[in-house]
Amino acid sequence: MIQIQTDKKVYFASDFHLGIPNLENSQRRERRIVQWLKTIQSDVGALFLLGDLFDTWMEYKHVVPKGYIRFLGALADYADAGIPIYIFSGNHDVWMKDYFVEELNATICHKEQLIKINDTLLEVGHGDGLGPKDKGYKILKYIMRNSFAQWIYRRFHPNFGIGLASYLSQLGPKHQSDKENVFLGSEKEWIIHHCEEQLKRHPIQYFIFGHRHLPIEFLLSNNKSVYINLGDWIKFNSYVCFEKGKASLKYFQNEE
């Protein structure tokens, strides 16, 4: 359970995909994210970052990917101010180990979690592989999260390992087409199927996920619970603010 003071808010964001499509555009997005973090810092009770913060993130024993210094510095300011940071690994930054734990005292989660904030029950996570279908990806996800498979991959030199992962990442459909950035209806949105199944087991009021790259607010079948997708910061600059028991999708107005 997370207890938040009544004058504080909880913020959720995901899918920054720092690193693509090139250094110039990535740094422009990074500055926008840092500006947002500074804007909200005074009233943050906790910060949840729900995956794919980086387009590629792989931690070796003594090596992490270079770059992202402005973003990491902003997170360090949060940590130094005593603001709790929760980071969920996504499908692009699945190989998070202890770097952010040691540097930021962050809590790292590798799967969706039930979280109670004051009196409200939420389920939060990145959102990849949830619901029915997509068995091929679920097999790949299992391999990517397998500790032995990660150990084997880390035998490669970081220049090769990180370089290959970055190259393969940019071949993904979300980087090649806008076709997925359309709401497909409740029957084809697999995360909605997951939410409906979870409601049979838990009285969850809000489901907050990323991965979909499309801001979504969807009232579920009980007419009480809401599924919210965070969208992304490539196009939408979207995030969720949780305040006094209510979560709402918002958009950061860039001042650049």
CA distance 244 to 154: 44
3-state percent breakdown (helix, strand, coil) of the chain, nearest 5: 30, 25, 45
Instruction: Look at the block and give the residue holding tokens 């029957």.
Output: 187
| pLDDT tens readout for residues 46-100 | 999 999 999 988 888 888 889 999 999 999 999 999 999 999 999 888 888 899 9
CA distance 234 to 145: 26
Query: What is the enclosing helix (H) or strand (E) of 230?
Result: strand 226-230
pLDDT of residue 177: 46
**Under DSSP, is residue 204 helix (H, G, I), strand (E, B) or coil?**
coil
Q: Which amino acid is at 185?
A: G
pLDDT of residue 221: 95
**Under DSSP, is residue 224 helix (H, G, I), strand (E, B) or coil?**
coil
Is the C-alpha dihedral spanning 9, 228, 76, 27 positive or negative? negative
Give me the domains of the chain, ranges plus CATH numbers. 9-251 (3.60.21.10)
CA distance 240 to 251: 8
Query: What is the enclosing helix (H) or strand (E) of 43?
Result: none
| pLDDT tens readout for residues 136-185 | 666 766 667 778 777 777 777 777 676 766 776 676 555 544 556 788 88
